[in-house]
Amino acid sequence: MKRGLILQSILLSCMIVFFLVSNASAGVATDLVKQTTDSVLDVLKSKELKKPARTKERRSAIRKIISERFDFEEMAKRSLARYWKQRTPEEQKEFVGLYTDLLERTYIRKIESYNDEQFVYGDEIIDGVYAVVKTKIVTKKNIDVLIDYKMFNKNGTWLAYDVVIEGVSLVNNYRNQFNQIIHSGSYEDVTRKLKDKEIEGLAEDKVK
């Protein structure tokens, strides 16, 4: 489980590339990413929103922007896999909320630590209603980290439903963790752990 948590942290860190890419090839999905990028950078660069007293407002603004480009419900559904259909509508709604809060809270903090790394887009591959946007991070040590964003066209717009870094999927990583927890315990153990993470996050927010 420890290795899984480390990998999860790496994957979540790399989700921020979706918003902080410096160059991109042409394409509908890419155009939408550029719009999202500009909006997030405006928030991060705002001198007013950088003030400690406006931390809650800044993070709320970032949450709103990213929620318009990531389909967290689809990510939650794919992460829970076959157990999704076993849940009641009320349980599904609760799970999506907890899952979304975990992802947003984790990588928003990483977005805030952005330090001018170089982010570059590669190809944009369209296959019907699905697309893959290929990117890479060029680190301070001049090491390339390859990242793919899996997207699908929902109601006329492109939304991300998975992030793959060096061949490892964020959704699959969570799916494996949830499967392990359910196999050794129950679905309720999954939600309990997610609720604990939410409580920890809220406590950290109050301290800042």
So what's the pLDDT on residue 12?
A: 56
What are the chain's domains? 2-207 (3.10.450.710)
Q: Amino acid identity of 196? A: D
pLDDT tens digits along 129-171? 999 888 777 777 888 888 888 999 999 989 999 988 888 898 9
Render pLDDT for 177-206 as a digit per residue (tens, 0 to 9): 999 999 999 999 999 999 998 888 777 666
Residue 91 clears pLDDT 80, i.e. is over it? yes
How far is Cα 202 from Cα 147, in angstroms, rounded to an integer?
30
Cα–Cα distance for residue pair 148/144, rounded to 1 Å: 13
Q: What's the CA gap between 7 and 11, in Å, rounded?
A: 6
Lowest-confidence range among 51-60, 102-111, 157-166, 176-185? 102-111
Q: What is the pLDDT of residue 161?
A: 94
DSSP state letter for 171: H
CA atoms in the 13 A half-sphere facing the CB of 196: 6
Question: Whole-angstrom Cα distance, residue 119 to residue 17?
Answer: 7
Mean pLDDT value across the chain: 82
Q: What is the reported pTM?
A: 0.79
Residue with structure tokens 């400690």?
52
Distance in Å from the first CA to the final CA of the chain:
29
> Would you give the distance in Å from CA 129 to the centre of its chain?
21
The partner residues of 164 in beta bridges, in order of sequence, read 148, 169
